[in-house]
Amino acid sequence: MPTSQFKIYNNMDVGAPQLYGFSGSLLAVLNACLVNGYGSKLPSGWTKPLPDTSSYGTFKQISGSQISFFLNDSGVGTGGQKESWLTGWETITAIDTGKVTGSGQFPTVAQLAIGPGAVVARKSNTADSSSIRVWTMFADASTCYLFMQSGDVVGTYTALTMGDIYSFSTGSDTWKALVIGRQLENQAVNNYENIGVNSLLGTAAAGHFMARTYTGAGASILLSKHGDGGKSGDPLIMAGSVQYPNATDKGIYLSPTFIGEGTSGTIRGVMRGLWFVCHANTTLNDGQIISGSGDFAGKTFVVVRNIGLNNSLCAIETSNTVLTN
């Protein structure tokens, strides 16, 4: 079974671009990590279907679905320069003053009338360069997870997600790329930073969109996302309630994070290397390293906690064991 390994980037690296609340700042971070590299850090290998125009940028995976993404980091919308818009596209052929010409947009305007048709990434609580924002990215050639401390609440992350899941399809699932972000603009207090939100299978999760169904039919679809909800005090939040460590075996419990197709009840696959932690947010530390044993032998993980204000957390797989197809 093919596997990959995420490269890890953060604002403390030598030569790393810094993130602020002004236009082009987030675009610079994505360009550095995904396309160009910086300091001693190699890029993840994404390409740019079109050159950047002002604070507008495009990104394309070089493996997996090879789908494109458009970032509008120009400071439009009610959040102004504090926020950016992200949209997935099957193809992008042109950018004209922030408007994209292409095909296969997700989300569509009908699904989310921001942008129009975009999820929101909140990068700062101030629209200036007065404060450097902490950020950490985990990325390979087909998936990117970016966590940012916007300053709205100290030590709390906002997030941006784009790229492939691991598909369970027995066929060729070439539309398995998703975007995850906020569905609300200019929210300093948002209890549902959507990467940290779960839903029940068959119930769409806010801010989760994918290019098409696993059969390739139709267009942009809504998604559900869930882990082991039976081990959680709230099945709609990415955090569990298992004693830490579990009393009987001293174990740390993780669950795959499953992706379903909207309201259909179909499980499409799992998030690549992003695991549901079956313990409470307060029991683990941000950045804590977990070494697997038993079924998880050979795997290592790093904890990302305090995602949004709902006490969500996850574990990102950092070993060369991340499933890919």
Give DSSP secondary structure letters for 95-143: EETTEEEEEEEES-TTT-TTTTT-EEEE--SSSSSSSPBPEEEEE-SSE
Q: Specify the pLDDT at position 76.
A: 87
Task: State phi, psi for 34 to the nearest 5 degrees.
Answer: -90, -35
Among 177, 181, 24, 196, residue whose Cα is nearest residue 88: 177
Q: Specify the pLDDT at position 24.
A: 96
DSSP alpha helices (H): ranges in the chain? 25-30
State the total domains in the chain: 1
Rounded-to-integer distance, Cα 43 and Cα 216, Å: 30
Which structural domain, as residue segments, surrounds residue 168? Answer: 3-323
Tell me the whole-structure pTM to 2 decimals: 0.97
Q: Specify the pLDDT at position 115.
A: 87
Give DSSP secondary structure letters for 32-62: IIIII-BTTBPP---B-SS--BTTEEEEE-S
Q: Specify the pLDDT at position 96.
A: 86
Contacts of residue 29, Cβ cutoff 8 Å, sequence gap at least 6:
17, 19, 135, 137, 146
Q: Specify the pLDDT at position 98.
A: 82
pLDDT along the chain (325 residues), means of 10: 95 97 97 98 97 95 96 94 97 90 97 94 92 96 97 94 97 94 90 88 94 94 94 88 95 96 94 97 95 94 93 96 97
Rounded-to-integer distance, Cα 77 and Cα 148, Å: 19
